[in-house]
Structure 1
Amino acid sequence: MIRQKQLNVLLREALVQKIASGEWRAGQLIPNEVDLAQTYQLSQGTVRKALEWMEHAQLVIRKQGRGTFVLDRAGVDMTERYVRVRTAFGQVPEADIEVLHTAVAEATPDEHAALRLKPGAFVRRITRVYSIEGAPFAWATASLPVALFNLTDGEVNSLVTLPKIASRCGVLLGEGEERLRQAAADAQVASALRCKAGTILLASEVLTLTVNGTPAEWRRSFRKLPDGYYYSVPIGVAATAD
C-alpha cells in the first residue's frame, strides 16, 4: 500500500493527516501498533518509528498500559519549540510581549509569495515588541493567513504568541525555516528597540508551516540580544531508515 519513500516517513505523513484533518481529535485513543501495521500492511517496527517521531513532534502521547493518544496541545506550552533565543542559563526568556499594531488587509506580493496564497487572499498583520525587565530586545512583524486564523483584534492582543493563536484556531504547527543575517535598523525598528537608526542588529525571517505543510506564519524580526543571551539552533537529523 505504501512503498516509495522510506516507509515510516510515508506512514507518519498519513497519520499526521488524520490529526490535521480532525479525523483523530485531541485526546482520542488511536489504533495500536498491531492494528496500524495490519491496516497499512507494514511491519510493527515501521509503525513504531512513525509513532516515535510523532511523539517527539508532540502530536501524540503514549500512556503506559493505556495506549497512544492524540496530544491535546491546548494544555502544552509549545513556546520552546518556536523560540530559539536562550538566557545565559539555557532557558527561554520570560519576555513581556506588547502588540503594537494588528490589522487585516489584502496580502502584498511578498506575503502572497511567502505564504503561497491565492489571489485576493487576506492576511492578519501583527507587530510586536518583546522586552525583559522593561528593556526591549526584539521587534517583529508577522503575517498570518486569515483563512487559517480568523481572529478578532481582541483575541490577538490576549493570545500574543503563534502557538497560543494556533491552539485557539485548532491549527497544528509543524516545521519551519529561519534565515538569519545582519541588517541595519530603520527608524521604526530603532525607535522600538531604543537604538540609533543604522545600528547593525540580528535580523530574522521565519516561515512556520502546519503539520501538513501549509504556510501558517511569515515573521520578520530584529533583535539586540541582552548580555549573556544566545541563539540556540538544533542541528542534525533523526534517523528515518526502516
Structure 2
Amino acid sequence: MRNLPERDSPERDMPDHGISVSRFSTRPLYLQARDAIAQRIAAGEWKPHVAIPNENELARTFGVSPGTMRKALDLAEAERLLTRRQGRGTFVNDPSSGEQRERYNSIRGRDGKRICGDVEVLNLLETTVNERECLRLRLRLRERVIRIRRLRLTDGKPYMLEDVAMPAKLFPNLTTHQDASQRFVVLAQQFGVLLGKGEERLAIGAAAPDVAAALQVEEGATVMRLDRVIYTLEGKPAEWRLGQCLMEGRHYLAELN
C-alpha cells in the first residue's frame, strides 16, 4: 500500500479552489488558509452578511485539518473579516457599514461619538510619487499615486483638511470613480482591497495659509496633525493621510486592543 501524505503536509497539491502551496514555502498552513478566505472575500465570491461554509466543509475544501481551519477562522475573525454567531454560523463582515466603516476614525465630539459628517473633495489627480510618498507608502520612484485633498465638515462647518495619497496600482482609474469622497474603507471594498491595521502619529502645529483658508480660521491657528497610514491585510501601505484638524469641542480617542 502506498503511503498517503499527511493532511497538513505543505508538499501536497491543493484542490483547484484551495490554497496555493509550495513545497518550499515556510508559511504556516493556517496563514495560507486565511489567505484563501481573504481572497474569496476580496473577489466577491463570499458576500457581506452571508454565511460561509462550516469549519469542516472548509477544511475539506482547502485540504487542511479542522484544527488548522479553526486557527485560520480565528485569525480572520480577529482581523474583522468574519463574525461567528453562536448557533447560527460564520458570516462575512461588511466593512462599509456602521462601526466597520468608521474603524480608523478617532475623532470624537463632546458626546463621545465618532464625528462622521460630510466630505468635500477639493482636488483629485493621479501623478508620479514624490519622496515623502515613497517613504510612507513604500513605493519606488516613478510609481504612480492617487492624490486627494478633501475637507471634512460637520454641521456645514469644516473641521479637518486632509491630504491623501494612495498607490494607483491598488486603485486603478480612481480619478474617474463616481464618488471618490467615499470613506476609505468603502473605496477599498469596491476595489477588492482588504484592510488591516492603521498607525497614526499625532503632533500639534500652526495652520499654514492654505490650511487656515480651507478651515476658515486665522493663519497660525492651532491644529492637530494626524499622520496616518492604513495597511492592507498583507501589511502593504494602502493609504497615507495627513489630516489637519481643529480640536475645539472635539477630542482624539486612542483605542488600545
Matched, 1:191 2:209: no
**AA of the residue aligned to 1:91:** K
Contact 2:149 2:162 in 1 (8 A): yes
Match of 1:223 among 240, 245, 248: 245
Match of 2:139 among 94, 117, 126: 117
Contact 2:120 2:181 in 1 (8 A): no
Separation of aligned partners in 2, 1:199 and 1:75: 35
**AA of the residue aligned to 2:46:** A
Q: What's the counterpart of residue 26 of structure 1?
A: 46
Q: What's the counterpart of residue 14 of structure 1?
A: 32
Q: CA RMSD in A?
A: 3.0
CA-CA distance at 1:197 after TM superposition: 2.0
Output the TM-score relative to the length of structure 1.
0.80
Separation of aligned partners in 2, 1:74 and 1:232: 21
Distance 1:74 1:183, change over 3 A: closer
**1:10-56, CA deviations, whole angstroms, 9 ceiling, x for partnerless residues?**
6664343224434873237655334667854574xx75465344234
Distance 1:226 1:100, change over 3 A: same
The equivalences for 1:157-196 within 5 A come to 157-196=179-218
Q: What's the counterpart of residue 166 of structure 2?
A: 144
Unaligned runs of 5+ in 1: 3-9, 237-242
Q: What's the counterpart of residue 234 of structure 1?
A: 255
Distance 1:26 1:123, change over 3 A: same
Runs of 4+ in structure 1 deviating by more than 6 angstroms, as ranges, are none
**AA of the residue aligned to 1:54:** A
Separation of aligned partners in 2, 1:169 and 1:137: 28
The number of aligned residues is 228
Q: Secondary structure at the match of 2:103?
A: helix
Q: Secondary structure at the match of 1:188?
A: helix
Q: Secondary structure at the match of 1:51?
A: helix
Identity in percent = 32
Structure showing the higher helix proportion among its residues: 1
Contact 1:99 1:157 in 2 (8 A): no
Separation of aligned partners in 2, 1:82 and 1:75: 13
Contact 2:34 2:73 in 1 (8 A): no
Separation of aligned partners in 2, 1:11 and 1:222: 43
CA-CA distance at 1:98 after TM superposition: 0.5
Distance 1:66 1:133, change over 3 A: closer
The equivalences for 1:69-80 within 5 A come to 69-73=91-95, 78-80=100-102
Q: What's the counterpart of residue 230 of structure 2?
A: 208
Contact 1:99 1:127 in 2 (8 A): yes
Unaligned runs of 5+ in 2: 1-7, 10-27
Contact 1:26 1:72 in 2 (8 A): no
**1:128-149, CA deviations, whole angstroms, 9 ceiling, x for partnerless residues?**
1111112211011000011000
Distance 1:174 1:134, change over 3 A: same
CA-CA distance at 1:69 after TM superposition: 4.0
Distance 1:22 1:47, change over 3 A: closer
CA-CA distance at 1:218 after TM superposition: 0.5
Q: What's the counterpart of residue 6 of structure 1?
A: none
Separation of aligned partners in 2, 1:88 and 1:53: 35
Match of 1:60 among 74, 78, 82: 82
CA-CA distance at 1:171 after TM superposition: 0.9
Larger-Rg structure:
2
